[in-house]
Structure 1
């Protein structure tokens, strides 16, 4: 099989070839390795190759498992793969080796996936772009001068470049959907509690984080969620299991849905015309498919992001430093992490327990408000992000901001930092005004690749459903994939 032939298949298609004995899993893994060795020096997606492990897993894979040994990539952030490096984009974890598998990694093994390597992420997964100082920027296969998004940018770039048909991604503020949008992929964030975060975590980012994948096809995403969904002993969140496998759900008609859409910006800023156009074209497509689509008020507020979500993220960054300190055997220092990360740590440390608890209570208010929206609408349609993929470095602190970060982190000027954090935060949230809200509420949400700019850069649109209704999203995604196929659109890197 040539690479061109390999790239035509999704993961389930490759698994079927293995079962028919038209190719072996080990041969597929070798094709993926060859592609990785060819393209990774350009896109910088894989930071820890696991080629020997992948070959061993492929040889031992059960051909009757869902994926039968198909090559796969794991995001290098919070998932633990026993005996492998996990660096989380941080220089302080250069020598960290995982001692045991995460629950979801065990389920990936049982599903017959062969781990080809670990993919890049920003430090601690804190930014919507993947440019860690430790490994350098990950580049978008559609145009290597542009971002692949984040924090699952390495996974998305690898899949878009054809190394593997899908890869793990995690989402605490949009980190499945943002890179899916940037790289022309399908990315669904499951409901809170759908997938176990154990045993190393109970509730990542206070329950905001969920694991899943970015993929070329809707059915791969559905099949992987079938293989991984469900709680583990000790999990803090238990959700009603699906009534039937998602792989069956995608074969069903979604029925006539009432969909509210908005292109308004949560912070009141401008949304790029390409993102607006993507939503408007999608609304027209939905109407042609028989759905009721109408302009609706955006059920989000400015303070949902700039106060409530930011408090949680900075608090979690401060907690990450405590975990790093335990690994290092000494208190972590500013030199162990990036300056921007340390600034978030300082801010997180400056919040009182009262501050954190008060903002955490607001999650309920936000969920009730959005729950009321879904009493009227089956789904919410928005842009995934407010801008088409931007040039690498565009969201990094500029020279003046870097000088400020250097000053406040060196002198521990928390008061100055608090005064300046608003503008710094809005620079990030101006790009991602939509994605984080479903992390707060625990709703499932997906980015669907339905638009490309004239410069051939992908722009996704986002659908959000009530909690527990991944089935509604999968049915619609399959319908959209059939109506406007994206499979043949491939990055030429």
Structure 2
């Protein structure tokens, strides 16, 4: 049976038009048919899922019996693999279920397996050496994006209508744009965290999902949201009325076309944004084209990489304790090694300044949103990249392998160079992670070759209602492609 979205699936189960077991069986068949060409999954739990479909009580569950895939990074389910795309964790099994995954199960989802991601989620493409690259369903010579690339490929190919994902710098929104999906990154503090990790990448990383419809996006956010008092980031919940309200009749929308880090933005990406702006203007909304980005993108990304390196060093210190030995270059991919080793040289006082800078960015954007309700940009500067597009030069790889030989400032320059090509491809998403704002990618563009492009809206903290309403407007107007 064909379903428009996960909501339709759950309605079929509640109305006894189809059993949860039948849904799981159909989804397994789709995965087995499609995944050999995509490489979206890293592990499967079919037998357990079928048993749960038979035995669990789904009455009153908003996503009753809906099959789901978790991301193989930071979404732990007791007894199941959680490799993070790293050969270091090939045999690792989670000791407990985290609060986010438990909440998904409480909502009625049945977990069938886990999806492919780059090692530890550092990239905007999914090409882990452990599991291999994820192919874009629209063009198998291209990467599906990252770090939630496997999740995006699973949804866009039709394996299932919704997949769990996470976003620390665009990892939901970038693959959403490449795959023609809806990708919401909620406000920092909106989604359950813990019980082990409460401030992923100092609050930059947040979990949610990749979806096909605004109905699923809204429904999942409403039921998944939390006001978690033990969390370092606490928000009041959004009411159903908030989340179902249409766009206000009066809005001021800022439009930014140029890259915040100075790179090239394709004509197709700019055209998608301008077409969206014209559509909104035709609906009676004020459009204001910005001369420059509201934040200094280079400063912001330098702070982001400092954070990333420091958090990576802390992560590997924990792995050293767990394994009882020091980490070596052979244990990990080169990018992970460079971040790990460079993180060892960053002084605590500099890291403190970075986090203070994030607070300043957040304040600056709060002031910005006193003038503009929404910021509209491309989601990415280009369509999905070809496999191998961001390969590093041999000279740079040699320097990264020997990064300990360089002083701290030169190490950070090497980290910037390591990410420079991929950052130019996807420069728009990271700032919302630093500031904690909600942002969404909407599937409104296609190139002449049929490749997807997304448009990206950012709102003030706590204003997911505006993002959902603008998404609903585009969807109902037939502008999703």
* TM-score greater than 0.5 by the shorter chain: yes
The residue number in structure 2 matching 1:214 is 210
Summarize deviations over 1:316-361 as a string: whole Å, max 9, x none. Answer: 1112212222332322222111011101111111111112111221
The residue number in structure 2 matching 1:122 is 118
Summarize deviations over 1:37-74 as a string: whole Å, max 9, x none. Answer: 11111111110111122212322141431011111110
Aligned pairs, number: 477
Measure the CA separation in 2 of the matches of 1:335 and 1:483. 52
Aligned 8 A contact 2:67 2:160 in 1: yes
Aligned 8 A contact 1:208 1:440 in 2: yes
Measure the CA separation in 2 of the matches of 1:145 and 1:20. 42
| Among candidates 370, 377, 382, match of residue 375 of structure 1 | 370
Measure the CA separation in 2 of the matches of 1:199 and 1:255. 42
The residue number in structure 2 matching 1:177 is 173
| Among candidates 403, 413, 424, match of residue 405 of structure 2 | 413
User: In terms of mean alpha carbon deviation, does 172-181 or 412-421 score higher?
Assistant: 412-421
Q: What secondary structure does 2:272 align onto?
A: helix
Q: What secondary structure does 1:382 align onto?
A: strand
| Among candidates 465, 473, 481, match of residue 467 of structure 2 | 473
Q: Which runs of 5+ in 1 are unaligned?
A: none
The residue number in structure 1 matching 2:424 is 430
* 2:281 matches 1:319: no
Deviation at 1:81, TM superposition (A): 0.5
| Among candidates 143, 151, 154, match of residue 147 of structure 1 | 143
Q: 1:447 to 1:76 in 2, by over 3 A?
A: same
Deviation at 1:119, TM superposition (A): 0.4
| Among candidates 42, 65, 69, match of residue 69 of structure 1 | 65
Deviation at 1:456, TM superposition (A): 0.9
Measure the CA separation in 2 of the matches of 1:393 and 1:173. 21
Normalising by structure 2, we get a TM-score of: 0.96
The residue number in structure 1 matching 2:335 is 340
Deviation at 1:428, TM superposition (A): 2.9
Q: Which runs of 5+ in 2 are unaligned?
A: none
Q: What secondary structure does 2:103 align onto?
A: helix
Deviation at 1:290, TM superposition (A): 2.2
Deviation at 1:190, TM superposition (A): 0.5
Aligned 8 A contact 2:228 2:234 in 1: no
Measure the CA separation in 1 of the matches of 2:248 and 2:471. 9
Aligned 8 A contact 1:363 1:440 in 2: yes
The residue number in structure 1 matching 2:274 is 280
Aligned 8 A contact 1:158 1:164 in 2: yes
- Which aligned pairs between 1:41-52 and structure 2 lie closer than 5 A? 41-52=36-47
The residue number in structure 2 matching 1:33 is 28
Deviation at 1:250, TM superposition (A): 3.3
* 2:257 matches 1:263: yes
Measure the CA separation in 2 of the matches of 1:34 and 1:253. 40
* 2:197 matches 1:205: no
Aligned 8 A contact 1:147 1:389 in 2: yes
Measure the CA separation in 2 of the matches of 1:265 and 1:71. 38
| Among candidates 300, 304, 325, match of residue 305 of structure 1 | 300
Measure the CA separation in 2 of the matches of 1:53 and 1:22. 23
Aligned 8 A contact 1:307 1:359 in 2: no
- Which aligned pairs between 1:79-158 and structure 2 lie closer than 5 A? 79-158=75-154
The residue number in structure 2 matching 1:441 is 435
User: In terms of mean alpha carbon deviation, does 467-476 or 329-338 score higher?
Assistant: 329-338
| Among candidates 279, 286, 303, match of residue 292 of structure 1 | 286
Q: 1:245 to 1:117 in 2, by over 3 A?
A: farther
Measure the CA separation in 2 of the matches of 1:108 and 1:306. 32
Aligned 8 A contact 2:312 2:339 in 1: yes
Q: 1:393 to 1:63 in 2, by over 3 A?
A: farther
- Which aligned pairs between 1:236-251 and structure 2 lie closer than 5 A? 236-244=232-240, 249-250=243-244
The residue number in structure 1 matching 2:349 is 354
* 2:385 matches 1:390: yes
Q: 1:254 to 1:342 in 2, by over 3 A?
A: same
Deviation at 1:472, TM superposition (A): 1.1
* 2:228 matches 1:228: no
Normalising by structure 1, we get a TM-score of: 0.93
Measure the CA separation in 2 of the matches of 1:108 and 1:419. 41
* 2:359 matches 1:364: yes
Aligned 8 A contact 2:305 2:415 in 1: no
Deviation at 1:202, TM superposition (A): 1.1
Summarize deviations over 1:406-425 as a string: whole Å, max 9, x none. Answer: 3x15xx32336445333223
Aligned 8 A contact 2:227 2:236 in 1: no
Deviation at 1:307, TM superposition (A): 1.8
